Structure 1
């Protein structure tokens, strides 16, 4: 029997990242909670866990920029992706009514994804490091005038009451997660590749760089810019494209990009997420 895999994730038991761990690795996986995203990267770096799972973008609020920045600091590879449906709930201690709520806690991404609902409550909104961690906190402190935005699973784990379900701004709230390790995945025939690159600050540089993919018929599924943080108004580009880095056309496109770009980092190739999973 193969040993159980240990997978680091950010948050407390009941966090959406924990659900993503079990969706990808199965119920026998050992999910290892971490305080921050950087802790997930560190655990994989020093070999405390073989894998880590981190959110990379949300369909409402966009990319999780801190995670992209961490990929620049570490040499980890993306070896898988998960797309998880996010069903936020307003959670409180048993006996607390909606009218009792004066303050609401959660991770900044979760609060932003429920902005319309939260604005109707006229409550103080306070950001914390985790959705499930917020539920745990108001439980341990017996805060009867507080609520937390988190999953139904978190409410069950901590024995709390759900005051409102499905409070996201849109019903189709999805988060995409990356599975990171020290190696990426072998070609599956239905893959994506993620890279980071920067170009010279001259006219047509980005157009020429992207042309390496266009002329080989490679479909780009995402492109986004982020400040390099080295010089004002200089940017890195984060790009996802269909195909595995070992495929001939992808290898040629990457080589062509390297000839035109200032910097190229391949984050990894991995099988496309097969389906959208519901939170467990």
Structure 2
């Protein structure tokens, strides 16, 4: 049996050889990138890679090594592609992701649309973000808000994106892919839900509570403790308005203190959400493909081949370019059972070389990719 130190020395020598051969291979790949630059050929030739790996696997001595060869060369080829994307970007190929850089968002005389009615948390987010020097308009649904922006009826929309207690607002995620609108900023609003009722009502009178499903999720513990029935409505402020129109002490709603004041309701209990730091992140949407100069986050969506390892390959472009991923979500792809669209947010700016490199790689290798915003 060989001495351990002797075996380790032999491994070190082999590793040194692997490094020299790896670097030699990458130098040859630079020639490939130059050829593709001259001819306009795409970096990724998936069939060529599959054929190459299949051939290399036949040269392994058993199935275990064949599987190892497959994984090893998939990584080597992925690193080769990343280097080629970088070289092409340095030569001015695909090095602009198409965002105009501005010092600040133009808001003078802007029209801002939000979903819901006065008293909605979306209205609160809109007014806190834009102030009183813009024009506000409200619509019934998130889709209508996106249409207003797309059609030029509004310059900006304010939509809820994610709640710290109840998670993402799935409809908004899906609409970001459907519409050619872009996230240009985000804004956090601390949410404090109140149980509200008509004048003279008490908690003991309540039998049914009306509100938006998200508000129910955020206040579920309080509702279940009292055993009340739940009735979904489109918006917390709509719920407040509805209850104000009833003469029924047995009906209550979950809404903000502002909504209770607007619609003349009594607050029966404040802060019924189970998380004291309950916060909703709102996104500011524009039809203009712009990014503030101080923007620090990129959000993209993509679909990919339904095969083992493909998600890792997509995310590896972010990792390889030293970018920090801050969010990942998945949503089902319509009409494709068990296939998913991924939403990824990572730190970076539209004019940052590493960002351009990562997006070039994902765009080339995903089935489709959309940049949802730089904010």
- Bigger Cα displacement from structure 2, 28-37 vs 7-16: 28-37
1:80–1:185 CA contact under 8 A, matched in 2:
no
From 284, 301, 325, the equivalent of 1:220 is: 325
Residue 139 (structure 2) aligns with: 34
> Which has the larger Rg?
2
2:182–2:373 CA contact under 8 A, matched in 1:
yes
From 237, 240, 253, the equivalent of 1:148 is: 253
Over the aligned positions, Cα root-mean-square deviation in angstroms equals 1.3
From 102, 105, 120, the equivalent of 2:207 is: 102
Determine if the alignment matches structure 1 residue 244 to structure 2 residue 345. no
1:10–1:17 CA contact under 8 A, matched in 2:
yes
Q: CA deviation at 1:30?
A: 2.6
Higher percent of residues as strand:
1
- TM-score after normalising by structure 1: 0.93
Q: CA deviation at 1:120?
A: 1.4
Gaps of 5+ in 1: 271-280
Residue 211 (structure 1) aligns with: 316
Residue 30 (structure 2) aligns with: none
Determine if the alignment matches structure 1 residue 53 to structure 2 residue 163. no
Q: Secondary structure of 1:186's match?
A: strand
Work out the CA distance in 2 between the residues paired with 1:222 and 1:3: 32
Determine if the alignment matches structure 1 residue 24 to structure 2 residue 166. no
Q: CA deviation at 1:112?
A: 0.9
Work out the CA distance in 2 between the residues paired with 1:152 and 1:184: 36
Residue 189 (structure 1) aligns with: 294
Residue 340 (structure 2) aligns with: 235
Q: CA deviation at 1:181?
A: 0.8
1:12–1:132 CA contact under 8 A, matched in 2:
yes
From 65, 75, 79, the equivalent of 2:180 is: 75
Work out the CA distance in 1 between the residues paired with 2:109 and 2:198: 35
From 242, 254, 269, the equivalent of 2:359 is: 254
Determine if the alignment matches structure 1 residue 44 to structure 2 residue 149. yes
Determine if the alignment matches structure 1 residue 264 to structure 2 residue 360. no
From 152, 161, 169, the equivalent of 1:64 is: 169
4+ residue segments displaced more than 6 Å: none
Work out the CA distance in 1 between the residues paired with 2:295 and 2:139: 31
- Bigger Cα displacement from structure 2, 23-32 vs 47-56: 23-32
Determine if the alignment matches structure 1 residue 87 to structure 2 residue 192. yes
Work out the CA distance in 2 between the residues paired with 1:207 and 1:250: 17
Q: CA deviation at 1:243?
A: 1.1
2:184–2:292 CA contact under 8 A, matched in 1:
no
Relative contact order, higher structure (CA 8 A, sep 6+): 1
2:189–2:280 CA contact under 8 A, matched in 1:
yes
Work out the CA distance in 1 between the residues paired with 2:363 and 2:169: 26
Work out the CA distance in 2 between the residues paired with 1:245 and 1:235: 26
2:211–2:231 CA contact under 8 A, matched in 1:
yes
Determine if the alignment matches structure 1 residue 124 to structure 2 residue 229. yes
1:187–1:246 CA contact under 8 A, matched in 2:
no
Work out the CA distance in 2 between the residues paired with 1:118 and 1:29: 38
Work out the CA distance in 2 between the residues paired with 1:132 and 1:56: 18
